[in-house]
Chains A and B, each alone.
Chain A
């Protein structure tokens, strides 16, 4: 019997579903992603041959010494990069923070000059953080040559932009009365900061910096893929030589390093709770910076003195290439990037849901442990590394990018989805169970409506992130606008590179805006 009462949402849902299917088909055709390729016997054989070498991992003493040295380099780069970012971000926040200014003090309009300077500062910070750190590294490698200095500079610039913005936001989130009262008593800007704002804001400032350190370690380990030293350089070499045993060793080292960074960050946040711990943390960071300087000193060989070369290099980017011939390439590269991010995210959602159910303990303890381990592996290996492996399996091109994004994202989303499931109160499903509902139906009627909006919001956030990822995967040959950029930089076509970078930044800005709109509609 057909339902005589028409569902008022039916038309909207049907068109939404049809639109989604259309989008999926478009993305599949744009990226040439064909899951059947993965079952191609020739591909499978070469992949099996490669992964068969993974066990046992290479443990020769020369390699281990090399890995240890590269790990130290990676850590040193991350530490110095973060220190540089703090040197950039802290003053930027101090001058950019609106609640510290004279205007906020007396509730008057800012001086036109001060307002213009503030806007300029914010614009520079936006540009610094909008270009992904790997792209910065690529640019610095081209400007001053291979080595660890480009990695430090790249982290300093990209994270400096982020810290400048977030530090200012944290300062602005403090209650303004304290600073205003001090200002009314004649205190200067620095005194207002030190006595009125900093005491309340410090824990959050430090905690965010610690989180950024964790990210810096992960990013620094990848800088080698574009020739900027550290673990990534070794990984790049062993992958290019199809040396499975070495690759396995490096992947393990990478996972251990990321795990250690995670643990350090958690420890540091605990230390923040006591004044003694805070002092210890500050001392530890200062000595880490000094040790890193000493460690990398010999490797730099006067690179810093080469500021002239840097300026000349930057000048080559102006004016950007706006010729008609570039537009077609650009449009195709951007569309490919977009398609990669959408398809990768959608595939990841399917895998994430399938893994989140066991990971949340729905199907027993044994499957829970297995699912969690798999999720940790999927998200522990960054998308750039997945992309290098995917290129081996699927060949160069956007299809490898889709696979890489799908693998990494399913690890991230799977964990978030599982957490949502575990945080959902059990009453609804329990009531359905005592009314005789089966497991699947009790889940669909009692749990799913509660978790679905959260899952959707996470998916959109991750898609924003994946647009940014998709635009750099091309650096290792996995399609998208990153590939065109890598190509242009290799041929020293700086004006073309400038246009591509601007387009890349605009695409991710558009995606952010669209996703924010969609999320607001979910409400």
Chain B
């Protein structure tokens, strides 16, 4: 199993962010995570990214229990998990080539990584990676001159370059226009499939989730509301899931029958 949560809970202060979540993703499986704002999507991703340890239940990643490992072994495990963050953590003034190269810091020796900052290496591979998100021309640009959408795609390129066995993405296309959003989700799906990697992506847009993922995991109030194949997700379930969310929420406007079939 690539990712297993067993009754995992996460509490911050008095707020229960995740309440006994259990789910399993098999090797090579692809799933989308949906749900209203505050449902716990980002918390679940951060748990799977070892950014947070559960305060109840178990987390197992790529067959290992990260919080029972020593620091060195946990580092090695982390190097095999690639993450795309909603607001990409790119330092201002860092050039894009370094921001993407940073994806492989877990696989490079310290001295080699430091030397790369002076004499950039592997430029053509990084350029090819950037080309997959249509940013090849930004190889030498500084991160702080990029637009919000470009920064988000650099974040995607970093994860592609890292080539993790488990790929986690937290709203990776929130700053992109509909065309680029669909394009970027497709690139992440195809990359994972080609390498046999497992992919878990949280998405604000239900249309994107249904269009690209065979499996939909829905969260509400820190619990799993449903966990179904995309074909079984209908309008009634979605209405219940987003009930009470803001009227401008992402609930489907078109009838469920008009949904494009899952392509992933």
- CB of B121 within 8 A of CB of A436, answer no
Pick the residue among A435, A441, A445, A450 that contacts B93 (CB under 8 A): A450
Q: Does A3 lie at the interface of the complex (its beta carbon under 8 Å from any beta carbon of B)?
A: yes
Q: Does A427 lie at the interface of the complex (its beta carbon under 8 Å from any beta carbon of B)?
A: yes
Q: A4-B124, A7-B140, A449-B92 are in contact. Are A434 and B102 (CB under 8 A)?
A: no
Distance of A510 Cα from B44 Cα, bound (Å) = 58
Chain A hits for B106, CB < 8 A: 435-437
Chain B hits for A430, CB < 8 A: 51, 89
Pick the residue among B91, B98, B105, B114 that contacts A435 (CB under 8 A): B105
Distance of A436 Cα from B80 Cα, bound (Å) = 8
Task: Give A433's nearest chain B residue, CB to CB.
Answer: B78
Q: How far is the CB of B116 from chain A (nearest CB, A)?
A: 9
Distance of A431 Cα from B85 Cα, bound (Å) = 8
Distance of A243 Cα from B157 Cα, bound (Å) = 66
Distance of A432 Cα from B110 Cα, bound (Å) = 13
- CB of B105 within 8 A of CB of A4, answer no
Q: A434-B78, A437-B105 are in contact. Are A5 and B139 (CB under 8 A)?
A: yes
List A residues 405-462 near B (Cβ within 8 Å).
Answer: 427-428, 430-438, 440-442, 444-450, 452-453
Q: Does B32 lie at the interface of the complex (its beta carbon under 8 Å from any beta carbon of A)?
A: no
Distance of A238 Cα from B80 Cα, bound (Å) = 65
Chain B hits for A440, CB < 8 A: 110, 114
Chain A hits for B89, CB < 8 A: 427-428, 430-432, 446
Q: Does B79 lie at the interface of the complex (its beta carbon under 8 Å from any beta carbon of A)?
A: yes
- CB of A434 within 8 A of CB of B117, answer no
- CB of A436 within 8 A of CB of B117, answer no
Task: Give B51's nearest chain A residue, CB to CB.
Answer: A434
- CB of A438 within 8 A of CB of B105, answer yes
Chain B hits for A437, CB < 8 A: 102, 105-106, 113
What count of chain A residues pass the 8 Å CB interface test?
A: 31
Q: Does B123 lie at the interface of the complex (its beta carbon under 8 Å from any beta carbon of A)?
A: yes
Chain B hits for A275, CB < 8 A: none
Distance of A260 Cα from B65 Cα, bound (Å) = 55
Q: Does A199 lie at the interface of the complex (its beta carbon under 8 Å from any beta carbon of B)?
A: no
List B residues 73-89 near A (Cβ within 8 Å).
Answer: 75-83, 85, 87, 89
Q: A3-B124, A427-B87, A449-B94 are in contact. List 12 more A-B contacts (CB 8 A).
A: A428-B89, A428-B90, A430-B89, A434-B50, A435-B82, A436-B78, A436-B80, A436-B107, A438-B105, A445-B101, A449-B98, A452-B93
What are 20 inter-chain pairs, A to B, with CB distance below 8 A? A3-B122, A5-B120, A5-B139, A9-B140, A428-B90, A428-B91, A430-B51, A433-B78, A434-B78, A435-B83, A435-B102, A435-B103, A436-B81, A436-B105, A436-B106, A437-B106, A438-B75, A440-B110, A441-B110, A452-B93
B residues lining the A interface (CB < 8 Å): 49-51, 75-83, 85, 87, 89-94, 98, 101-103, 105-108, 110, 113-114, 117, 119-124, 127, 139-140, 162
